[in-house]
Structure 1
Amino acid sequence: MRETARAEVVTVALKLFAEQGFDGTTVDQIATEAGLSRASLFRYFGTKEDIVLGQLAETGRTIAEALAARPEEERPWEALRRAFDVLVEDNAETREQTLAYLRMLYDTPSLRARHHEKQLSWQNLLVPEIARRLGAEPALPEDPGPSALAASALACMDTATVAWLACDGTVPSAALLDRAMDAVANT
């Protein structure tokens, strides 16, 4: 039941955000439209931003699982790129919806900041597998390699997303991600 209520709140909120903008929509409006009290809404979500970004923790885990499932012989950078396919393919399947969501995300400073914060947690999820593939110890602060690879790959994902938005999705996001990651790998 709890997941059903959460999903309903997200659906209602995204509809209101599309109509009124993120900043133009209040928590009270979302709660009323979803048939909840303000207090009930906050039992499901800590902040208004979390309504939009709540699924990102699961996305990070999915990417980390995809990375761990990549072939052993694959170099870490390529494994990272291929692990992002789970996100890229999902975005391609829901292109218009994803573009609208990402426009709201990138056009709203509070959402953008919170998204960046969530992506930092993705980095923490990716580092142990990258370290394992490199034969490194992820807990050693004097070895920044695994963290640098994870952070760089996520930066490539972010810049590819910005490019995808800029071209209004006319170039496949997979191609843009390939270009971004190739630019880093071949420099």
Structure 2
Amino acid sequence: MRQRTRDAVRQQIADAAIVMFDEQGFEETTVDQIAASVGISPRSFFRYFAAKEDVVLGDPMVHGEPVRRRLASSLESMPVWEALRSGFEPVVEIFESDPDRSLRAMRVIISTPSLRARHTEKHLAWMTVLVPLIADAMTVPETERQYQARAVTLCALTCLDLSTAEFVHRDGAVRARVLLDEAFRLLKPATLVN
């Protein structure tokens, strides 16, 4: 029960902060303002989040682990490129479950250099768990396997980044799923060998 209450308060803080970051700017919004908006002290804010950036990005593997699991499952029945697209389905589901919040969060990330950098770091963390799965699924010579697995995985992450940036650019008018599918079609490697 205590954990559910903690999670609910954490979500309330995050929701309020995302709106403030989007409306006022990330750098311009203070922890004091966020805390006041949800009726807690600034000290209490730091019980839930180590830093202001964590409200937007948090632990990179919170979303990376579901992507890894989905990719592992998809590789059992799909070619590598299609499995990578399927692996991002948990991210798409987050966007589709709350498009307004997702739009606000991505707008904040894209407009804040420090958050963009941490977003890139998040994807590099995902690479460490996705690349081994892709490498195991490929039948290219061992000398090329790691390189090709990294290249294909990074290309897939670029599709994800491209589609989320376009989702923001179009102000959420086109579903994230549609944009991600289009990016995967556009950037499909011509010579990918499983």
Q: Please, what TM-score do these two structures have when normalized by structure 2?
A: 0.81
Contiguous gaps of at least 5 residues in structure 2: none
**Distance in 2, Cα, partners of 1:165 & 1:132:** 35
RMSD of aligned residue pairs (Cα, Å): 2.7
| 1:15 and 2:27 are equivalent in the alignment | no
Q: Which residue of 2 aligns with 1:128?
A: 132
Q: Which residue of 2 aligns with 1:184?
A: 187
Q: CA deviation at 1:135?
A: 5.4
Q: CA deviation at 1:56?
A: 4.1
Q: CA deviation at 1:186?
A: 4.9
| 1:159 and 2:151 are equivalent in the alignment | no
Are the structure 2 counterparts of residues 63 and 168 from structure 1 closer, same or farther at C-alpha, using a change threshold of 3 Å? same
Contiguous gaps of at least 5 residues in structure 1: none
Q: Which residue of 2 aligns with 1:172?
A: 175
Instruction: Tell me if structure 1 keeps the 8 A contact 2:163–2:179.
Output: yes
**Distance in 2, Cα, partners of 1:129 & 1:155:** 18
Q: CA deviation at 1:136?
A: 7.8
Segment drifting more, 58-67 vs 43-52:
43-52
Instruction: Tell me if structure 2 keeps the 8 A contact 1:76–1:130.
Output: yes
**Distance in 2, Cα, partners of 1:37 & 1:170:** 37
Instruction: Tell me if structure 2 keeps the 8 A contact 1:8–1:34.
Output: yes
Q: Which residue of 2 aligns with 1:78?
A: 82
Are the structure 2 counterparts of residues 44 and 141 from structure 1 closer, same or farther at C-alpha, using a change threshold of 3 Å? farther
Give the paired residue count: 186
Q: Residue type matched to 1:110 in 2?
A: S
Matching of residues 1-187 of structure 1 within 5 Å: 1=2, 2-54=6-58, 56-134=60-138, 143-187=146-190
Q: Residue type matched to 1:154 in 2?
A: L
Are the structure 2 counterparts of residues 125 and 88 from structure 1 closer, same or farther at C-alpha, using a change threshold of 3 Å? same
Are the structure 2 counterparts of residues 65 and 136 from structure 1 closer, same or farther at C-alpha, using a change threshold of 3 Å? farther
Q: Residue type matched to 2:76 in 1?
A: E
Q: CA deviation at 1:57?
A: 2.5
Q: Residue type matched to 2:118 in 1?
A: R
Instruction: Tell me if structure 1 keeps the 8 A contact 2:19–2:104.
Output: no
**What SS does the corresponding residue of 1:69 show, helix, strand or coil?**
helix
Q: Residue type matched to 1:6 in 2?
A: R
